[in-house]
Amino acid sequence: METNTAIQKTNQWTNDQIQLIKATVAKGCTDDEFKLFIYTASKYGLDPLVKKIWCVKYGTEPAAIFAGRDGFLQKAHESGKFDGMKTTIRIEPVAFSKKIKKKGYGGKQDEWVEFKKETQLVATCQVWRKDMSHPFEREVWEEEYSSGLANWAKTPRTMIGKVAEAQCLRLAFDISGIYSEEESSVIEQSIIVDEKQVECLSEGIKTQIEECKNLDELTAIWKGNKDLQKKNYFSEAVKEKKTIFKTIEITPNNEPTNKLS
């Protein structure tokens, strides 16, 4: 309640409006993260109640604040100093590949797949201000921002163009602490990749899997660790051990053992 009172005093929002913002466009934020979000929204005059600005919490990482490209363009016009913007997109014969995480639905596990392209789009944006003689310029490459999914798969030219425009507008009009909607994929993927690299089997579970002698023991380990069953590093370790059992079809004295279907 102390947080709500402080926010109301600064922004003159009702308690109901604050609760609505928390429940819709700032889910899961800590009190401090919410205060920063509200301060940022007020500073730049972007209304979270109509989703001109919103906040996303990624696991235990600090919440990230987002706005649409049009929100940055709005601030440029409001400054009275905006003097035009030009965006060009070209294709470069530079291949790239990256690991992307496809979310599983209907109880299925998330899946890591490789996204490849033989060429990539490069967007360059220039923004002019009336009080400056030279334009601001930003160049962005598809490999740095594409998730290979959703709108990045359907309209990659539009997406990469918006990234360049958002970055250039932020630079030209001193907008900080806010990402564009089109940049959300690179933030989410970087956090997911970091978590994937950090997460690993505990020594206890690792030893159990290594020392189990047959498929029944392996199955017991799997069933006994339900909280780990959706973790890729656990399921991959179990699959690897299962594959080893399937290759052991006969013993040195030629008597079948561990023969699995």
Contacts of 78 (CB under 8 A, 6+ apart): 45
Q: Could you tell me which residues are beta bridge partners of residue 116?
A: 97
> Closest Cα partner for 39 from 68, 3, 74?
3
Q: What is the pLDDT of residues 207-229, one digit of tens each?
A: 778 777 788 888 888 887 777 77
C-alpha–C-alpha distance, residues 161 and 143, integer Å: 13
pTM of the model: 0.67
pLDDT value at 126 more than 60: yes
Q: Of the ranges 1-5, 33-37, 62-66, 229-233, which one carries the lowest mean pLDDT score?
A: 1-5
Structure tokens at 254: 């030629």
Q: How far is CA 158 from the centre of its chain?
A: 19
**Hey, which of 22-31, 131-140, 190-199 has the most confident mean pLDDT?**
131-140
Which pLDDT score, from 0 to 100, does residue 55 have?
A: 93
10 Å CB burial of residue 75 (0-12, 13-18, 19+) is buried
CB 102 within 8 Å of CB 113? yes
pLDDT value at 77 more than 50: yes
User: What Cα–Cα distance (Å) separates residue 201 from each residue in 95, 184, 221?
Assistant: 34, 29, 13
CB 84 within 8 Å of CB 125? no
Query: Whole-number mean pLDDT of the chain?
Result: 81
- Read off the amino acid at residue 170: R
Per-residue DSSP letters for 88-155? EEEEE---EEEEEEEPP-TTPPPEEEEEEESSEEEEEEEEEETT-SS-EEEEEEHHHH--SSHHHHH-
